[in-house]
Amino acid sequence: MIELAVDTVQWTFLGYFVVLNAGYLALNVLAFRELSRCMQTRALETLPQVYSGLEIPITLIVPAYNEESTIVSSIQSLLQLNYPEFEVLVVNDGSSDRTLDLMRREFGLERVPEAVRLRVDCKPIRGTYRSKTHPNLRVIDKENGGGKADALNAGINGARFPLFCSLDADSVLQRDSLHRLVLPFLEDSRTVAAGGIVRLLNGCDVSGGFLVRAGLPRNPLALMQVVEYLRAFLFGRLGWSPLNAVLCISGAFGLFHKETVITAGGFRTDTVGEDMELVMRLHRLLRLQEKPYRIVFVPDPVCWTEAPESRRVLRSQRIRWQRGLAESLSLNRQLLFSRKGGVLGWVAFPFALLFELASPIVELAGYAFFAAGLALGVVSLESTLAFLALAIGVGMLLSFTALLLEEMAFHVYPRVTDILKLFLAVLLESFGYRQMNGVWRLIGLWQWATGQKAVWGEMTRTATWQRDPVGLRH
Amino acid sequence: MITGRTVTVLLAAVGSTALLLACLVLLMRVFLILRTRRQARCLATWEPILLEATQSGPPAILPRLAGADVMTFLNVWNHLQESVIGTASEGLNDVARRVGIPARAARRLRYGNLRERLTAIVTLGQLRERSAWAPLCSYSREADVSLSLAAARALVHIDPPAAVKHLIPLVLARADWPAARVATLLVAFGPDLVSAPLAAAALAAPPEHAPRLIRYLDVIHAETAMPAVRRIIRLTDELEVVTACLRILEDPEDLEIVRRFCEDPRWQVRVQAASALGRIGLPEDVPVLRRLVSDREWWVRHRAAQALVAILAAEPAALDQLEATHYNEFARHALSQARAEMRLQ
């Protein structure tokens, strides 16, 4: 009886990882096809662009809370983007530092009595500003509260253009990022949201607001996050895109159709995963209403952002992300096996539930089970090794496939030694980092399940990648 | 029951696959380095020649262009073609013909992968290669948007009048062609060539297609097509068509048409009417705009306020009075904002 129970449990663990890895492998295949096609059509995109005036204008919404160390350079780089018509709308979220003062000084902001339409709930707006030197720069100053989601909602209310791009204050874009990200909207009027790749700034050099040299971080935590991000974006999202089943567009770099988001109610302020929750909600509402739509991932346009380098900050981030995932799935559970759910409701959503949300529980339980079983002699060494091969070994393979996709399409990191470092990161990630992440994600799940109050935490920005920091003159 | 053999096979499979993937990545990097070096050598040879060709004509003797360098050559050649005009372009074409590009591009058009075909299409268009007309026409009807649009553009370069006849029906039929790219295509034709057929197509188009065509007329600044636009707006009451027409009316003689739409029950129409009054309105339109600036729709108020500020720009006292005395609070906000924006311009 005990033997039967142990056998069942161990086969369950093994079966779980077989299915998990098969799913990721399938995503790899889809991502490979999508990337191949994207690379082929890039042939024309390197030619000088001619704009006709019919390009859809975009509002870049930049929520800013205590960003004095980076806000000026961030805005300066955004203002230099190559796109025919766009505005930069900074939402000062009640900053207690010199964020607003620095912007006022550097950009000649003047207060303007703007009649902002409050179509989505947000905290009271204290004032609106325009730049005398840059006609396409506006600033909304609002009361603090509601987090980034509330700031984004204030930005949506103030946005002038039919598309808005949500950005982090420290996001570094490439000059043609907007031009590439808007393509799905131009090609298909059903497109309501598009996301691009987020890469890590740690170890890179930025000058004049733009990346001048891509490099790998020396910090081991950041290095392993490079591999994680490649996995997450290059096949994690790209694979789902052709199936119209992308469940998350990063808040650091996502382009949305404003009216659709307003109709859906804007960003929720009672969740820490507001970006993911919005995308799932868009899927849910549009599918239930049977409206044709597309939410896509575009591999080309890149946004660079800083990753945490300390365990404390990384822990806080990963707990928050797992909470955000749990909250988003829970709030949109109507999608699960919905009659109108399509691939999203019948494949992507259950996949996220079973293999993204539950994986820390299963993996850590698996370690515990096989370790205890081995010690007690009820589980064989062979079964334990098989479990480790599936849980860790195949996980490493998936990281290698992400590196392969990266090398095939982008080869961003120029040196051969960079590749070797990434190989090392793949190997080391699986012994310690992955398990540590699993524990944090489990904590996030526990906090969600027990209804604990969410805490955003502080992201300590080092901005060491910035060659010419501005805005902090004394 | 999991045996030792199974585990060994599994571990070996995982390990060898990981090793294989790692080797593949390194191999790709080696190929990339070799390819990059080759491209650099090719560019070092050909970039100066092509730049010289744009300025003083090509040199008498040209180096041989290896097959492996053709795509690199075409990338820089196409890039330069898009950046120069007139005799500079002829110099580039001369170089291309002398190294056999027409035949090489034609081969890639027929047998190449997507990237090669796209590059070949652009090249043949820049070369104005008549022999490629038939295959390019065929490509312009392809389902693939990138290929069909690139082919359309190439046809415009080769023979604009013939391309107009071929492409206008496609412009109407291909709702999947992004408007911004079609507009770029039509601008390349020039208003003289394309206004009349586009206007005729807009007149004959069903309501779901007409707004798109009317927007194209605006982009190509087709003043000669305005009579057609005026006729369309008189004949139809379709929302999208009316708003598209109002968006491009900017002649004072269109004032009567615009005024008729100021009281339209549809707010989208009132917005465009208010915008149009901002462009061509007269002081006698102020009473209408006074009403529109207190419209229940935000955008109507916003555009009406901007129109009032534009019309009364030379009468700040009148604007002061309007802003201070308007009975509607939202109207006062809209005016205040419009005036502040005008001051910042």
Mean pLDDT across A304-325:
94
- Tally Cβ neighbours within 10 Å of residue A35: 21
Question: Which residues does B271 contact at the CB level (< 8 Å), separation at least 6?
Answer: B243, B297, B299, B300, B303
CB contact (8 A) between residue B78 and residue A47: yes
Select the residue from A54, A230, A383 to test the B interface by mutation, using most B Cβ atoms within 10 A: A54
pTM of the model: 0.91
**Are B191 and B166 spatial neighbours (Cβ–Cβ below 8 Å)?**
no
Residue B142: per-residue pLDDT? 94
- Comparing alpha-carbon positions, the chain B residue that sits nearest to A413 is B29
> For A416, which of B22, B29, B334 is closest by C-beta distance?
B29
The yes-or-no verdict on residue A312 having pLDDT over 50 is yes
User: In the structure encoding, which two tokens stand for residue B310, read together?
Assistant: 């534009």
Work out the angle at residue B142's Cα, subtended by the Cα atoms of residues B138 and B144, and round it to the nearest 5 degrees.
Answer: 145
CB contact (8 A) between residue B14 and residue A396: yes
Mean pLDDT across A303-328:
94
If DSSP states are collapsed to H, E and C, what string results for B188-254?
HHCHHHHHHHHHHHHHHCCCCCHHHHHHHHHHCCCHHHHHHHHHHHHHCCCHHHHHHHHHHCCCHHH
Element of type H or E holding A89 = strand A86-93
- Is A290 in CB contact (< 8 Å) with chain B? no
Query: Measured in Å, how far apart are chain A's first and last C-alpha atoms?
Result: 76
Select the residue from B7, B79, B83, B299 to test the A interface by mutation, using most A Cβ atoms within 10 A: B7
Query: For residues A295 and A283, what is the distance between their CA atoms, to the nearest angstrom?
Result: 8
CB contact (8 A) between residue A52 and residue B336: no
Side-chain-side CA neighbours of B130 within 13 Å: the count stands at: 2
Question: How near does any CA of chain A get to the CA of B333, in Å?
Answer: 6
The yes-or-no verdict on residue A460 having pLDDT over 60 is no
**Are A222 and A309 spatial neighbours (Cβ–Cβ below 8 Å)?**
yes
Percent of chain A with pLDDT over 70: 96
Q: A-chain residues within 8 Å CB-CB of B25?
A: 400, 403-404, 407, 419, 423
Query: For residues B218 and A53, what is the distance between their CA atoms, to the nearest angstrom?
Result: 10
Residue A461: per-residue pLDDT? 52
Question: Which residues does A19 contact at the CB level (< 8 Å), separation at least 6?
Answer: A355
- Comparing alpha-carbon positions, the chain B residue that sits nearest to A49 is B82
CB contact (8 A) between residue A186 and residue B115: no
Question: Which residues does A126 contact at the CB level (< 8 Å), separation at least 6?
Answer: A141, A142, A143
Burial A407-435 (b: 16+ CB within 10 A, else e): bbbbbbbeeeebbebbbebbeebbeebbb
**Are A213 and A262 spatial neighbours (Cβ–Cβ below 8 Å)?**
no
| pLDDT interval class at A456 (50, 70, 90) | low
- Is A377 in CB contact (< 8 Å) with chain B? no
If DSSP states are collapsed to H, E and C, what string results for A100-164?
HHHHHHHHCEEECCCCCCCCCCCCCEEEEEEECCCCCEEEEEECCCCHHHHHHHHHHHHCCCCEE
Question: How near does any CA of chain A get to the CA of B11, in Å?
Answer: 6
Residue A470: per-residue pLDDT? 36
Select the residue from A42, A382, A412, A418 to test the B interface by mutation, using most B Cβ atoms within 10 A: A382
Q: B-chain residues within 8 Å CB-CB of A48?
A: 79, 82-83
Residue holding tokens 């230099």? A80
Query: For residues B260 and B271, what is the distance between their CA atoms, to the nearest angstrom?
Result: 13
Query: For residues B145 and B129, what is the distance between their CA atoms, to the nearest angstrom?
Result: 22
- Helix runs in chain B, H state only: 4-56, 70-81, 87-98, 101-111, 114-126, 133-140, 145-158, 160-173, 179-189, 191-204, 210-219, 226-235, 239-248, 255-260, 267-280, 286-292, 298-311, 316-325, 329-344
CB contact (8 A) between residue A394 and residue B29: no
The yes-or-no verdict on residue B304 having pLDDT over 70 is yes
CB contact (8 A) between residue A393 and residue B11: yes
pLDDT tens string A361-379: 999 999 999 999 999 999 9
- Is A376 in CB contact (< 8 Å) with chain B? no
| pLDDT interval class at A469 (50, 70, 90) | very low
- Is A188 in CB contact (< 8 Å) with chain B? yes
Mean pLDDT across A384-405:
91
CB contact (8 A) between residue B6 and residue A132: no
- Is A375 in CB contact (< 8 Å) with chain B? no
**Are A117 and B302 spatial neighbours (Cβ–Cβ below 8 Å)?**
no
> For A404, which of B14, B24, B32 is closest by C-beta distance?
B24
**Residue A422 DSSP SS3:** helix
Mean pLDDT across B231-255:
90
B60 class by beta-carbon count within 10 Å (0-12 exposed, 13-18 middle, 19+ buried) = exposed
* Beta strands A86-93; A137-142: pairing state: parallel
pLDDT tens string B184-234: 888 888 888 888 888 888 888 888 888 888 888 888 776 778 888 898 898
Burial A348-374 (b: 16+ CB within 10 A, else e): bbebbbebbbebbebbeebbebbeebe
CB contact (8 A) between residue B2 and residue A37: no
Closest CA to A225 of A168, A325, A304: A304
**Are B234 and B205 spatial neighbours (Cβ–Cβ below 8 Å)?**
no
CB contact (8 A) between residue B26 and residue A48: no
Q: A-chain residues within 8 Å CB-CB of B143?
A: none
Residue B202: per-residue pLDDT? 87
Q: B-chain residues within 8 Å CB-CB of A8?
A: none
> For A43, which of B11, B18, B119 is closest by C-beta distance?
B119
- Is A134 in CB contact (< 8 Å) with chain B? no
Question: How near does any CA of chain A get to the CA of B177, in Å?
Answer: 7
Q: B-chain residues within 8 Å CB-CB of A183?
A: 178
- Is A161 in CB contact (< 8 Å) with chain B? no
Mean pLDDT across A313-337:
95
For A459-473, give the DSSP string: -----TTBSS--S--
Mean pLDDT across A185-202:
92
Question: How near does any CA of chain A get to the CA of B293, in Å?
Answer: 13
Residues 204-223 of A with CB under 8 A from B: none
Q: Which residue type, as a one-letter code, is found at position B340?
A: A
| pLDDT interval class at B57 (50, 70, 90) | confident
- Tally Cβ neighbours within 10 Å of residue A472: 10
Question: How near does any CA of chain A get to the CA of B162, in Å?
Answer: 23
Residue A473: per-residue pLDDT? 28
Identify the DSSP state of A190. T
> For B333, which of A42, A50, A115 is closest by C-beta distance?
A115
User: In the structure encoding, which two tokens stand for residue B214, read together?
Assistant: 């009317």
> For B21, which of A188, A390, A404 is closest by C-beta distance?
A404
CB contact (8 A) between residue A44 and residue B122: yes
Residue A458: per-residue pLDDT? 53
Closest CA to B248 of B183, B172, B335: B183
Work out the angle at residue A464's Cα, subtended by the Cα atoms of residues A458 and A468, and round it to the nearest 5 degrees.
Answer: 120
The yes-or-no verdict on residue A465 having pLDDT over 60 is no
Residue B16: per-residue pLDDT? 93
The yes-or-no verdict on residue A355 having pLDDT over 90 is yes
B55 class by beta-carbon count within 10 Å (0-12 exposed, 13-18 middle, 19+ buried) = exposed
- Is A46 in CB contact (< 8 Å) with chain B? yes
- Comparing alpha-carbon positions, the chain A residue that sits nearest to B333 is A115
Residue A471: per-residue pLDDT? 32
Cα dihedral B268, B269, B274, B275 sign: positive
The yes-or-no verdict on residue B323 having pLDDT over 70 is yes
Query: For residues A246 and A452, what is the distance between their CA atoms, to the nearest angstrom?
Result: 28
> For B180, which of A135, A186, A401 is closest by C-beta distance?
A186
Closest CA to A178 of A254, A242, A117: A254
Residue bearing the bigger pLDDT, A1 or B333: B333
Select the residue from B1, B3, B10 to test the A interface by mutation, using most A Cβ atoms within 10 A: B10
* Beta strands A294-305; A172-173: pairing state: antiparallel
ipTM of the complex: 0.87
Query: For residues B57 and B52, what is the distance between their CA atoms, to the nearest angstrom?
Result: 6
CB contact (8 A) between residue A130 and residue B344: yes
Identify the top-confidence range among A159-173, B92-106, B211-225.
B92-106
Between A and B, how many CB-CB pairs are < 8 A?
Answer: 145
Mean pLDDT across A135-149:
94
- Is A398 in CB contact (< 8 Å) with chain B? no
Residue A464: per-residue pLDDT? 55
**Are A441 and A316 spatial neighbours (Cβ–Cβ below 8 Å)?**
no
**Are B26 and B67 spatial neighbours (Cβ–Cβ below 8 Å)?**
no
Query: For residues B228 and B66, what is the distance between their CA atoms, to the nearest angstrom?
Result: 54
Question: Which residues does B249 contact at the CB level (< 8 Å), separation at least 6?
Answer: B226, B229, B230, B233, B257, B258, B276, B279, B280
CB contact (8 A) between residue B344 and residue A404: no
- Tally Cβ neighbours within 10 Å of residue A39: 16
For B292-310, give the DSSP string: HTT-SSHHHHHHHHHHHHH
- Is A374 in CB contact (< 8 Å) with chain B? no
Select the residue from B1, B17, B21 to test the A interface by mutation, using most A Cβ atoms within 10 A: B21
User: In the structure encoding, which two tokens stand for residue B126, read together?
Assistant: 């820049």
